[in-house]
Structure formats: structure tokens, C-alpha cells
Amino acid sequence: MEKKTFVTKEQLDEIVKQYPTPFHLYDEKGIRENIKAVKEAFSWNKGFKEYFAVKACPNPFLINILKEYGCGCDCSSYTELMMSSAIGCTGKDIMFSSNDTPAEEYAYAYKLGATINLDDITHIDFLEDTIGTIPKRISCRYNPGGTFELGNGIMDNPGDAKYGMTTEQIFDAFRILKEKGAEEFGIHAFLASNTVTNEYYPELAKRLFELAVKLKEETGANIKFINLSGGVGIPYTPDQKPNDIRVIGEGVRKVYEEVLVPAGMGDVEIYSEMGRFMMGPYGCLVTKAIHEKHTHKEYIGVDACAVNLMRPAMYGAYHHITVMGKEKEPCDHKYDVTGSLCENNDKFAVDRMLPKIDMGDLLVIHDTGAHGFAMGYNYNGKLKSAEVLLKEDGSTQLIRRAEEPKDYFATFDCFDIYDKLIQQ
């Protein structure tokens, strides 16, 4: 089966004349259509807000598109807070969901007026010692432990995750926070990653809604919002059926009316923090075949590597590959598609059946819009690529230039050797 690209061969031939491969390309039209669908799916909840997970794709040009539709930012670090502030997201537009959090990051989040989401009960005193108070509005992250199961089996194992508080701890945390002056509370949980099922969000919502009712009854806390976090996935393989966000939204609405409304909590706001679903399918890595090798296996070497897309090397993750212009040709050649790092796991595909690849062919590696460029690194002294936006009118915009050697050496700028490094 074949996945369709959002860019044509003719368009790409023109784009590579301006931007050398490799580069990440993003689909403005797809991003806009998707956020409209998400907003429509949860329009039944007056306070609904999507806080885009900045970690998934930290590019201010892309986040600004989401901001046009009222999205906020889910941040987990100092620099993500800085980026959010720079594009005009402050106060309730920022959700700060961090773990093992340094004091200076809590202090900066508080300065920006962000809603702080505490990962652990011990962070209550740590936060108070850091900023001198407890914010009036605060959230706690919940981890029920065990495994998370749906009708189709085990989805994930929260009991092995480092995130969140136990059931007993979150009740104690709410009581302590209330005593310390907190007035508005939120609940947050992330129990499964990249689920390709419409059942995940409604089931997660049911568990959090039931917890919220008990928390209100037993602690008297004023619960203002419930954050379903991320976990709504995308179909990386062509045989997977994509999630239907409208069906998901309706499923959450049904549980909301069954659990929260009868408990007198029909004004609770629903939040999401989707990164992969918001951006994943609307980015791709464009690379060029530059070498072929015929040894114990058949190899195609491309000019991208794991520096540009780490997921296949790190997780063995599948990313579909389209050989541009050969979509209709038979996939009768078995290749490992590799990069140039001095690591044998630097492979975008292993034993992948593809059309015959000739040197100079352009390959599109799908679904890199989330956790693609963002996970890049500089091993072997490799430099990160440019990011390019394919705009709705078919034009392109450079939204991040490619790294240059001076960027790689930038942290030597306080030493004499810096001038020698960059003058070569």
C-alpha cells in the first residue's frame, strides 16, 4: 500500500532548486484543516483549548499557525517557555508540564503566568520554596499505575512510567495545595502513547472524570479543567486506519455528560496537549539518493541521516518512504535505506520493498512533522537541516535555515580556538 504525499514531484523538483536536500517540509494547508477539525470536535465544551506540545515541533512559525486558531503552548523546559513567550503566549495560554524540574524553570513559568502542572507531590514544597507561594491556579499529574487496557488489549504500561502521582498522592496533594491557598485545580494524565484508536481519549476521559468527582467530594477542590494530554496517534504504516477526531470528541462528550454533568461539574473545561496528531502527518523529510551499495544486502545511501530523523534508529520506528515519480512502479527491490553516521542503526528502513532507486532520486520520508526535526542532534559533527513551509498557495517559506559549521562551533566562542574553527 502507498501513502500519498502532500507535495507533488513537480513541486518538489522546483523546491530542491532553492533548498538543498535534506530538509523538512511542512504542509500549511493540512495543518490548518486539522486544527479546524479538532476545534469542531470539541466545540461542545465552551472552555476547550488545545495546548500544542512544543516539544513535538518547536518552530515558532508553525506554532503561530495554531495560535491563530486559539491554541496555547504545552511547555516542558526553559527554552520552550522562552519560545512561547516570544510569540505572545503568556498566562493561561501556557501549560507548563515538566518533570524533575529545576527551580529556575518553575520560577520562569510562574513569572509568565503559566499554569503549572506538578508531576510529583514533593514538588509542592519545592515550588513554594522556589517562588515563595503556591499559585492560585494549579494542576497535578496523575498516574494510576498498572497497565492501560482497551478492548483491543494492553495499550501501554503507566506503572513503568516516571510521570505523575499515585491515586493516594493526588488526593493528598489537592488537600495540601488547598490549605496553602490554591483556588482553581486541574487534573492531567498521559497513559498511552501514539494510540491509533478512537477509544483512547474517551476511556482516559472517563477515568479522569470519575477521579475528578471523587476529588471534589473528598477534598472540596474547585476543579476547573481536566487535561487529556496527548496520546492520540497517527497511522505511520499505510495499512492503519487514521483516528477520527470528530468521533473521539463525541466519545469524550458522551462520557462528560454521563459522569461530570450529574455531579454538578458541567462547567469543567477540557484541554488537550496533542503534538503528534496536530503536526505529525503534515511534515516530511526530503532526501536524495546519493550512493548504492551491493554487499551482503542491497543498500541505498541518502544525504539525510538519523540527525535529521532519529525515530527509526532509536525505536526501530516505521516511517513510510515514497520514491518521488515512481509511485506507480512495482515495489520489487528490497533495500536498507541508510544515512552516513558511524552507527549501524542509522537506517530509515530495513528490508523495505521499494521501486528501483536510481542515484539522484528524491525520497520523501513521511510523518516527520512531530518528533522529527525536534529530536535531532549533532553526532559525527552532522548539521541539522533547514525547515521549509509549503504554503497554501503553493509557494514556500524558509522557517529555519540549515545549520552551518559556525553553529556547531558556537559554544567555543569564548575561547581563542573559535576564530580558527570558523575561518577554515
Euclidean distance between CA atoms 51 and 66, whole angstroms: 9
Q: Can you list the positions of beta strands (E) in 266-385?
A: 269-272, 283-294, 298-302, 321-323, 333-338, 347-354, 362-365
Convert the pLDDT of each residue in 233-275 to its tens digit: 999 999 999 999 999 999 999 999 999 999 999 999 999 999 9
CATH topology (fold) of 23-279 = TIM Barrel (3.20.20)
Convert the pLDDT of each residue in 5-64 to its tens digit: 999 999 999 999 999 999 999 999 999 999 999 999 999 999 999 999 999 999 999 999
Task: Identify which of 179, 167, 196, 228 has the alpha carbon closest to the alpha carbon of residue 45.
Answer: 228
- Indicate the pTM of the whole model: 0.95
Number of DSSP helices (H) and strands (E) in the chain, helices first: 13, 19
Euclidean distance between CA atoms 386 and 19, whole angstroms: 8
Please say whether the beta carbons of 118 and 138 come within 8 A: yes
Helix pair 78-86, 60-67: axis angle to 10 deg: 60
Please say whether the beta carbons of 96 and 75 come within 8 A: yes
Please say whether the beta carbons of 146 and 207 come within 8 A: no
Residue 154 has a pLDDT of: 56
**Alpha carbon of residue 358 to chain centroid:** 34
Going 410 to 416 to 422 to 424, the CA torsion angle's sign is negative
The one-character DSSP state at 92 is: G
215: exposed, middle or buried (C-beta count within 10 Å: 0-12, 13-18, 19+)? buried
| pLDDT of residue 150 exceeding 80 | no
What pLDDT band is residue 160 in, cutting at 50, 70 and 90? confident
Task: Identify which of 126, 129, 158, 128 has the alpha carbon closest to the alpha carbon of residue 142.
Answer: 158
Euclidean distance between CA atoms 144 and 158, whole angstroms: 7
CATH topology (fold) of 281-412 = Lyase, Ornithine Decarboxylase; Chain A, domain 1 (2.40.37)
- Cell readout for 66 is 495554531
Residue 52 has a pLDDT of: 98
As a whole number, the mean pLDDT across the chain is 96
Residue 271 has a pLDDT of: 98
Cα end-to-end span (Å), the chain: 48
Buried b / exposed e across 390-402, counting CB within 10 Å, b at 16+? Answer: beeeeebeebbee
| pLDDT of residue 153 exceeding 90 | no
Task: Name the residue ranges covered by the structural domains of the chain.
Answer: 23-279, 281-412
Task: Identify which of 342, 205, 209, 321 has the alpha carbon closest to the alpha carbon of residue 263.
Answer: 209
Convert the pLDDT of each residue in 350-395 to its tens digit: 999 999 999 999 999 999 999 999 999 999 999 999 999 999 999 9
